[in-house]
Every structure is written in structure tokens, then in C-alpha cells.
Amino acid sequence: MGKHFSLTATDSHQLGAYRADPSGKPKGGIVVIQEIFGVNNHIRNVCDKFAEEGYVAVAPALFDRQVKDFQSGYTPPEIEKARSFIAKPDWDAMLRDTDAAIKEIKSVGPVAIVGYCMGGSIAFLAACRLSGLSAAVAYYGGAIAKNADEKPKCPVQMHFGEKDAGIPMTDVEIIKQKRPDTEIYTYPDAGHGFHCDERGSYHQGSSATAWGRTMSFLQRHMK
């Protein structure tokens, strides 16, 4: 359904991206932010799914500054390698690349950002630091708690699994206390990565509920 193309950030860095377009007139645009596994099959499928819902979806390749077109699966060795990319994350650089994706699709209508894992943290930071977003949805962003003093410029929705070994519920409580202006959901039977149907941690029921909440949230705020 989609196509691969290039984006250019404000510092002239060129990065790859994947774009999926709806069949009819777009409702708006969605910037989809990857997990640590790159713009892989799962992220492309997420873009395609948003396109089926009527949105233009673009996923920027945020690791292109380190390795061009990095994509990974989910075996233990692949996960270990993928984690090396965020040993010392350059959030500012990734936000520049995210901003390039926002600007790419702003002409189609309201723009939202939806991110997963590392991308969940970026979705929250983008809501606080970037312009041009009507809504942001963050799935299990591990760096949100330590940045929760920052105030979003647009409505934000978050999703966390209560069995997430990497994001304790104490972190989620911190976010709830500091950011009562955000919509936060937790899922009792879900762990980290519960929305990815290619991972062992996939939890169908939680994923379906979170997707329904995401779509409803986008419809409310992308007008």
C-alpha cells in the first residue's frame, strides 16, 4: 500500500520514511514513530492501518543518523542490537526528524503523532516541544515519567501495560500526578509492546481496546 521516500530535517540531514495514503480524501495526517526496531514490517503495517482509517500516515526512520534503513525483528539477539541505538539517545535529533515528518503532511489537514516504545516517549516530547500537532498518542513510552514536568501543547493520550517490566506503575502514577491534563489508560493483562502483533508480548484484547481508544481520541481532536 505504501511507498518509501526521503525527508530532510532542518539541519539538512536526509532520512528515509514510509508513507501510506488513504483511498479517499484524507481526514488528516498521522506521524507514526517507531519502536527501537526501526521502520520495520510492524510499523509499516501500522501506517497501512491508519491509511485504511482515512489518514495519511508517515513513519520517519529515526535511526538513519546512525545506520541507514535499520530494521529488526524480535529475537533476543536482535533486541539486544536494537537497544544499542538508544544507549545514549539524541532526543533533539530525533525530534528534528519527527518535525520533518510533521511538515511533510501538514498540507493534508490536522496532524497527530502516535508512537510506540521509544516512539511513545518521542510522541510525548513532540507534543511538548514541537508545533503543528493536533493530538498525540503515546504507547508505553519509558522516558515520559522523567520528562513529565513538560507541558504538552496539544491533547495527549497514553497507554501502558500493568505487567510492563520496564515501566513500573510507580512511573505511571508520577505521570498521572504531574500531567492531569493527559488521558492515561493502563491494561491489567498487558506487558511492554502489547500492541505489536509480531512480538511475544502481544496481547490482543488490550491492543484492540487501545486501538479503539486511539481512533476515538484522534477523531475528537483532529478537526
Burial of residue 45 (CB within 10 Å: 0-12, 13-18, 19+) is: middle
Is 117 known to be catalytic?
yes
Closest CA to 56 of 37, 91, 31, 76: 31
Q: Which is nearest to 15 in space by CA: 70, 88, 55? A: 70
Q: Is residue 159 annotated as a catalytic residue, yes or no?
A: no
Please confirm, yes or no, whether 195 is among the known catalytic residues.
no
In this prediction, residue 35 carries a pLDDT of 98
For residue 223, the model assigns a pLDDT of: 86
Residue 42: the pLDDT is 98
Q: What single string gives the DSSP state of each residue in 50-88? A: HHHTTEEEEEE-TTTTTSTT-B---SHHHHHHHHGGGSS
Among residues 47, 117, 128, 154, which one is catalytic?
Answer: 117
User: Residue ranges of the domains in the chain?
Assistant: 3-221
Q: Which of 21, 64, 99, 164 is catalytic?
A: 164
Among residues 64, 128, 171, 192, which one is catalytic? 192
pLDDT digit of tens for each residue in the chain (223 aa)? 799 999 999 999 999 999 999 999 999 999 999 999 999 999 999 999 999 999 999 999 999 999 999 999 999 999 999 999 999 999 999 999 999 999 999 999 999 999 999 999 999 999 999 999 999 999 999 999 999 999 999 999 999 999 999 999 999 999 999 999 999 999 999 999 999 999 999 999 999 999 999 999 999 999 8
Class of the 3-221 domain?
alpha beta
pTM above 0.75, yes or no: yes
